[in-house]
Amino acid sequence: MPTRFRSALLSALFCVAFIAPAAAQHTLPREAQIGPRPFYLVDKMKDGPLKQKLQQCTGPFHKTDFSIGHRGAALQFPEHTKESYSAAARMGAGVIECDVTFTKDRQLVCRHSQCDLHTTTNILSLPALAAKCTMPFIPADPATGRKASAKCCTSDITLAEFRTLTAKMDGFNPNATNVAGYQDGTPRWRTDLYSHSGTLMTHDESIALIKSLGAKFTPELKAPEVAMPFDGDYTQEKYASQMLRAYKDAGIPASDVLAQSFSLADILYWVKTEPEFAAQAVYLEGRYETSGLHPAKPETWKPSMVELKAQGVKILAPPITLMLALNDKSEIVPSEYAKAAKAAGLDLIGWSLERDGPLDRGGGFYHKSIKAAIDRDGDTLTVLDVLAQQVGVRGMFSDWPATTTFYASCMGMK
């Protein structure tokens, strides 16, 4: 074989062996990279059989649908960004969340709230866009006690303008007297190491990325903070249909999409119009904020668990605190709410692990019902074990999916 042909053949073989795999580098490997944090949490657990079992767990750790990336991996990466989603996938999240809202020109983007751009992006640093905010920045006034404030919504700007923003860690300084100080408000237990170049995502871009990572989807239809119909004829129903249509257009099977909403009306609309998606739609529990729902008082659960099931709800997703209680021995056990949901045939998904920060003082909202039993970071895994083994949740949202991936792998869960 002539030398030039031999060289060409070797070059081609090199391309097949090395370049082709590199092109597929975004595909999520079955084996997950969990890093040191889960082992740190194990070390901080109270002594007992669960700690002993987890101490003996050295892998392999694998991707699992039990591990749901809450806004990606928001403990350290700016939420709903390419970087956050990619980190969640590497940590084994089998399902990744895009909270969905819309821009001024009715394009869908990933943001936790329609009006959070002032705390999650650099919009206030861009004068032309800051001027379009619903409420431009108002500095704190120490003399009067006025706190700094602003309100910038995706519906204030177009998709093209949204694309010019950079994401940052969610947070703000209420005592700031200037924009730079206001945006410097990341909680101390998070980090700004990765927050200087967060890549915002449209809904369509999130679908393409998450698909390439080999994960499933859990988009949340965020409640609009503008009057609906928006701009004349953009109704809630059009908005709800638009979100699901994006998955159809992308060729995503309905079975891979766990559509979420805090609005029961949205869920029932999907039951009526999109039964394939409704089969795994997730009703997010927010009634504790609006109707006084109490996890130990069934008379406050309106509709009841049985009624929700009869209306077509398949999956209920409450915050951790609603699913747990303390018994007379101060042990963490399933709440009456959680037991009733399971008895009615509802699947449960919990939110959100690793969101309270350090647990040495009992945690915050997510551990409110069991605060007396929480005194160390290792209790994260104790709580997760009760949710998985006694409550029977089918999945857990987590701000650091490595933790849920580690637990699921060690316990032999899919």
Does 66 score more than 70 pLDDT? Answer: yes
Measuring CA to CA, how many Å separate 214 from each of 97, 130, 349, 409?
Answer: 14, 37, 21, 18
**Tokens encoding 348:** 């449960």
What is the average pLDDT across 274-290?
97
pLDDT value at position 5?
Answer: 34
pLDDT (tens digit, 9 = 90+) per residue, 123-166? 999 999 999 999 999 999 999 999 999 999 999 999 999 999 99
Report how far residue 194's alpha carbon sits from residue 309's, in angstroms, rounded to the nearest whole number.
42
DSSP string, 185-229: ---TTS--TT-SSB-B-BHHHHHHHHHHTT-EEEEEEPPPSS-SS
pLDDT value at position 414?
Answer: 81
Report how far residue 323's alpha carbon sits from residue 396's, in angstroms, rounded to the nearest whole number.
12
Contact indicator for 104, 155 with CB cutoff of 8 Å = yes
pLDDT value at position 196?
Answer: 85
Q: Is the alpha carbon torsion for 306, 308, 309, 310 positive or negative?
A: positive
pTM of the model: 0.92
CB atoms within 10 A of CB 197: 12
pLDDT (tens digit, 9 = 90+) per residue, 248-258? 999 999 999 99
pLDDT (tens digit, 9 = 90+) per residue, 316-344? 999 999 999 999 999 999 999 999 999 99
Domain 37-115+192-410 has CATH 3.30.365.10: no
Mean residue pLDDT across the chain: 93
Phi, psi of 102 (to 5 degrees): -130, 155
97: left (phi over 0), alpha (psi -120 to 50) or beta: beta
Measuring CA to CA, how many Å separate 334 from each of 90, 356, 369?
Answer: 31, 20, 11
Domain ranges of the chain: 37-115+192-410
Q: Which residue has the tokens 């609309």?
A: 269
Contact indicator for 151, 115 with CB cutoff of 8 Å = yes
Q: Which residue has the tokens 């650099």?
A: 122
Could you tell me the pLDDT band of residue 24, with boundaries at 50, 70 and 90?
Answer: very low
Environment class of residue 139 by beta-carbon count within 10 Å: exposed (0-12), middle (13-18) or buried (19+)? middle
